[in-house]
Structure 1
Amino acid sequence: MEKRVPPITPGDGEVIDRADTATVEDEKPSQVEERDYTGTAKKTDPEEIRLVGKLDLCIMPCLCFMYFLNYVDRNTIAQARLNNLERDLGMSGNQFNTTVSILFVGYVLMQVPSNMLITKVKPGIYMSSWMLVWAAVSACTALVQNYAGLVVCRFLLGFFEAPFYPGATYMLSIFYTRKEVAARIAILYCAQILATGFSGLIAAGVFAGLDGARGIAGWRWLFIIEGAVTAFMAIVGFFVLPNTPLTTWWLTQREKELAHARMERDKLSDALDRPASALDGLKQACRDKRTWIFCLMQNFHLSACSFNSFFPTVVRTLGFDTTITLVMTCPPFLAAGAVGILFGWSSGRYHERTWHITVGLSIAIVGFVIAASTLNTAARYVACFIFPIGAYSVNSVIIGWASSTLGQTKEKKAVILAMTNIGGQIGYIYGAYVWPKSDEPRYGIGFGTSAAFALCSIFCAWWMRFLLIRENRRIRASASEQINMYGY
């Protein structure tokens, strides 16, 4: 008997008869599906494989380049410091640390409200609009004349950048299954890692070629150029980024239906299909204790990554000039990006998270200990490879885990992604102060606290694993058919 499914109304008002969609699976030959311990079937349908390839080709390059610019714009201040930013603006003491920290205050304030709204609007247009605004703020930073002006610009930059990353991870979660999303988030996060590395090369080129041109300091040119490129990419995003599987203009009707159907199949056993408001999503997220564990896990993880804005300063302790220092910041992040993609792919391939997080952050701890223990040039630069590789390898694993565990409704999923990211960004707020100028060149405080934070994040991962194993046992005991369970 053919199963009828109620019609679905896409965001633009077009009504699609889902009878055909309901038979997408019926048209396939029956076969024994290979499933993993969570009940998730292995992807073997050639049509679905082609669809995922098309999604990758259209979504991933655009999102990655946008996120690359998101991080380039916020990291510009780290390179500008090496081009006399503090001297030109009359800054002293911990004022630079405050300009680093204040960005994340704006970032934290905007994320949850933004992701509560993103389920009610078109996410592609929404994120591109915010990108255009932050591009303007980034470019206008070139006009500041004092410390107060820089603080205002940094706060606004964080506020307007905030919607992008949780919005991007939400977009990935509505187009990719639980097994697929970790690898895609890893690739997205790799854009951030590469931005941190290539920021030094970009700055080196600008400082060498434009410092003093037309009477404008090199660091001011850096803000102008990067802001202009970001604005251009925001305009591209308006045309390329999709909104939902059923309304994506570059998919055929058949592909739209298949994209929607496969996400319906991937829902957790406790997923809720009834309509929910943005406020309902917030309540669902806050009432789930696992939300707070993920927030804590990501907070400790990104607290351990607080070296990000001070990496050029740390590398400068090796004794090289500004240009060489900026060039030397790139290779560690290229290596970290490659390992991050490997970790994300492996985590999705084996549907495993806890050991990936444990191994990655343990590597980071080793790097932090070496860096704090010696001022030897070779040993310290090796450590500058080790701790970024370990620290940055697990972000996609944590975010993908949170998305696949707490996605009972799309509203809850959106809020969860924002809250988890906020938990991490709070770590950057106070993390900026564990790298005081008075602690150079060893920076023992920063490296020591980063190692402790990494250890705490590992503990949270095992805490979550214990809870999910217990929950799976409960689901398995109460269910009489094959269902999707939690991955850990």
Structure 2
Amino acid sequence: MSLRDVESKSVKHTVTTPSESEDGDQPPRRLPLGKRILGTVWDSLDKSPEERKLIAKLDWWILSYVCVAYFIKYLDQTNVSNAYVSGMKEDLNLHGNDLNYLTTYWTIGYIIGNLPSQIILTKVRPSIWLPTLEIIWSILVIGMSGAKNVTTIYTLRFFTGLLEASAYPGIMSLLGSWYTPAELGKRSCIFQASSSAAQMFSGYLQAALYKGMNGRNGLSAWQWLFIFDGIIGIPIALYGYWAVPDSPSNTRSRWLTPEERELSIERMKTAGRAPPGKLTARTFLDVGRTWAAWLFSLLFIAHVCGIRIYSYFNVWLKSTHRWSVEQVNLIPTAGYGAQIVFTLSYAWVSDALQMRWPVVIFAATIALIGTIILSVWPAENIPAMMTGWILTFLETGAGALIIAWINEICAYSTEHRILIIGLVETMSFTFNAWVPLLAYNTSQSPHFTVGYKLAAMFFALEIVLTLVIAYVAKRWNLKEQYLKREASRRAQGEQRESSNGIYDTYP
């Protein structure tokens, strides 16, 4: 198949995408109704056979790796909550704010590692960088099982966070390099849903370990949890060396044919997605001058600080003394199950609407209602309390749409996309490192009077900022600004070269 054939097939089957409709880069090109319905159900059904085959391959290799890898990553990130209520608190004599500090040390490592990891990804292939770090942090998680005091856990949590910082922004950048805007929402949310599945699985796993493995070979159930979580990450990381295809313009993946590589390049070109370029000091300055870097950072800060609330669900369950340890681990899985359903529904609705911002607002509104219920604190009304907690789970999928939105708005530059996603993650988790220490002091658990109100404030702020970004994206188009800036620099460079030429030839 020639490149011209590829281009004609790609253009022929192009659909209206979220980036086109929201950013106004191109006039929408509409397919017949039947094709649009098929494209909404699953976005490859309205494509040519060649493109359907390519997308199926991408889904099989990329999605299989990123979803399972992030599933493992989230197990390793959040397992301390299950371990805390399953004997670690008593065995290591944890008290006061220690549970928050366990998360804080991980978060500090995550903050430090985030942006450097994104910068390294512009120099080192993702197929090498991402799996290698996963192997190392899996070994550290296994090491937590041998901790004799909380200081050891703090240290290992810090380095685990440092290495895990590569996963979320790196994978989101990878998805943005291969999928068009019409496809990106679903894949981003499917990827995001794997974190919910991980937290569900962690609850079931810890309940099973507490029942069947507690005390076996002299190890407590929480120690077995760290061992199991670490071991299962290593083969997944090894699979990543084969599955991750880097980017369309420099892929060395053996599961892609030369024709499919050409088609992948053309798909990204048609979607306005720029290939990797050169990272310079000027790139950092340009990113710092864009509204996207700071408005999206504020939006993601509100998102991350808001969803922190539901990690204390099992702490409240334990404090009521109504349920056993196994039940305390199992009940929150209902929230994670609902989270998966809502996250996937956000993806389909967002792609059908061809907009991200209305769905983000809807998700934040649901969680806001939950935080209002918890702020009122109807402690004796268990159904109301359960409803409030479950509703706080349902906003998480909006995070994937926010990152997909960044991938689309910043499609004009691979370096801008990668750096802004890294900056957004770094800023949000910087706040997440200290806000919970003030909002959710565990000495006040489970009635965090300040925390529940702050969470409500964050979700309300998320709604406002989403509306602001939707307006600003229309008003100040980043692609147009970038192209004008680059054209001006080229003109200045040509003018200097012309002036130098005149001086060089002057007798």
Matched, 1:256 2:229: no
Give 1:175 deviation, angstroms: 0.5
> What residue in structure 1 maps to residue 201 of structure 2?
198
> What residue in structure 2 maps to residue 4 of structure 1?
none
Distance 1:215 1:274 in 2: 52
Structure-2 change in CA distance of 1:28 and 1:158 (3 Å): closer
Distance 1:32 1:363 in 2: 34
> What residue in structure 2 maps to residue 25 of structure 1?
7
Give 1:472 deviation, angstroms: 5.2
Distance 1:28 1:235 in 2: 33
Could you give the per-residue CA deviations for residues 345-393 of structure 1, whole angstroms, max 9, x where no partner exists? Answer: 222332212211111101001011112321121221122221111x213
Question: Of residues 178, 184, 188 in structure 2, which corresponds to 1:185?
Answer: 188
> What residue in structure 1 maps to residue 60 of structure 2?
57
Distance 1:34 1:164 in 2: 30
> What residue in structure 2 maps to residue 70 of structure 1?
73
Would the aligned equivalents of 2:83 and 2:222 in 1 still touch at CA under 8 Å? yes
Question: Of residues 414, 424, 429 in structure 2, which corresponds to 1:425?
Answer: 429
Distance 1:220 1:28 in 2: 52
Distance 2:283 2:92 in 1: 44
Unmatched tracts of structure 2, length 5 or more: 31-45, 485-507
Matched, 1:449 2:454: yes
Structure-2 change in CA distance of 1:142 and 1:119 (3 Å): same
Equivalent positions of 1:261-410 (< 5 A) are 261-267=266-272, 275-277=277-279, 279-318=281-320, 319-373=322-376, 374-375=378-379, 376-389=381-394, 391-410=395-414
Give 1:219 deviation, angstroms: 0.9
Give 1:29 deviation, angstroms: 9.3
Secondary structure of the corresponding residue to residue 371 of structure 2 = helix
Partner AA of 1:48 in structure 2? E
Partner AA of 2:476 in structure 1? E
- Calculate percent identity across the aligned residue pairs: 23
CA RMSD of aligned residues (A): 2.5
Structure-2 change in CA distance of 1:134 and 1:28 (3 Å): closer
Give 1:221 deviation, angstroms: 1.1
Secondary structure of the corresponding residue to residue 251 of structure 1 = coil
Secondary structure of the corresponding residue to residue 154 of structure 1 = helix
Partner AA of 1:380 in structure 2? M
Partner AA of 1:302 in structure 2? V
Would the aligned equivalents of 1:281 and 1:415 in 2 still touch at CA under 8 Å? no
Could you give the per-residue CA deviations for residues 426-453 of structure 1, whole angstroms, max 9, x where no partner exists? Answer: 2321243222223233333222111101
Matched, 1:111 2:114: yes
Give 1:26 deviation, angstroms: 3.9
Could you give the per-residue CA deviations for residues 252-295 of structure 1, whole angstroms, max 9, x where no partner exists? Answer: 22111101111011116xx6x79322544433322212211001
Secondary structure of the corresponding residue to residue 143 of structure 1 = coil
> What residue in structure 2 maps to residue 459 of structure 1?
464
* Greater shift in the superposed pair: 36-45 or 300-309: 36-45
Structure-2 change in CA distance of 1:404 and 1:324 (3 Å): same
Would the aligned equivalents of 1:138 and 1:224 in 2 still touch at CA under 8 Å? yes
Give 1:454 deviation, angstroms: 0.8
Matched, 1:168 2:150: no
* Greater shift in the superposed pair: 449-458 or 424-433: 424-433
Structure-2 change in CA distance of 1:135 and 1:27 (3 Å): closer
Distance 2:225 2:14 in 1: 57
Equivalent positions of 1:98-247 (< 5 A) are 98-245=101-248, 246-247=251-252
Structure-2 change in CA distance of 1:212 and 1:256 (3 Å): same
Q: Higher helix share goes to which structure?
A: 2
Would the aligned equivalents of 1:285 and 1:291 in 2 still touch at CA under 8 Å? yes
Distance 2:129 2:10 in 1: 37
Secondary structure of the corresponding residue to residue 2 of structure 2 = helix
Could you give the per-residue CA deviations for residues 167-222 of structure 1, whole angstroms, max 9, x where no partner exists? Answer: 10011011001222122111111011221222111111111111111111111111
**What TM-score do the two structures reach when normalised by structure 1?**
0.87
Structure-2 change in CA distance of 1:237 and 1:23 (3 Å): same
Distance 2:16 2:110 in 1: 42
Structure-2 change in CA distance of 1:217 and 1:260 (3 Å): same
Distance 2:160 2:184 in 1: 28
Distance 2:266 2:243 in 1: 22
Give 1:99 deviation, angstroms: 1.3
Structure-2 change in CA distance of 1:283 and 1:121 (3 Å): same
Question: Of residues 429, 439, 444 in structure 2, which corresponds to 1:439?
Answer: 444
Would the aligned equivalents of 1:280 and 1:411 in 2 still touch at CA under 8 Å? no
Distance 1:437 1:32 in 2: 53
Distance 2:479 2:288 in 1: 22
Distance 2:276 2:235 in 1: 39
Partner AA of 1:128 in structure 2? P
**What TM-score do the two structures reach when normalised by structure 2?**
0.84
* Greater shift in the superposed pair: 182-191 or 273-282: 273-282
Would the aligned equivalents of 1:132 and 1:234 in 2 still touch at CA under 8 Å? yes
Partner AA of 1:20 in structure 2? S
> What residue in structure 1 maps to residue 49 of structure 2?
46
Give 1:139 deviation, angstroms: 0.6
Structure-2 change in CA distance of 1:427 and 1:344 (3 Å): farther
Structure-2 change in CA distance of 1:238 and 1:308 (3 Å): farther
* Greater shift in the superposed pair: 23-32 or 253-262: 23-32
Give 1:78 deviation, angstroms: 0.2
Partner AA of 2:342 in structure 1? V
Distance 1:34 1:459 in 2: 27
> What residue in structure 2 maps to residue 411 of structure 1?
415
Unmatched tracts of structure 1, length 5 or more: 1-18, 480-488
Would the aligned equivalents of 1:117 and 1:278 in 2 still touch at CA under 8 Å? no
Structure-2 change in CA distance of 1:317 and 1:277 (3 Å): same
Distance 1:32 1:126 in 2: 33
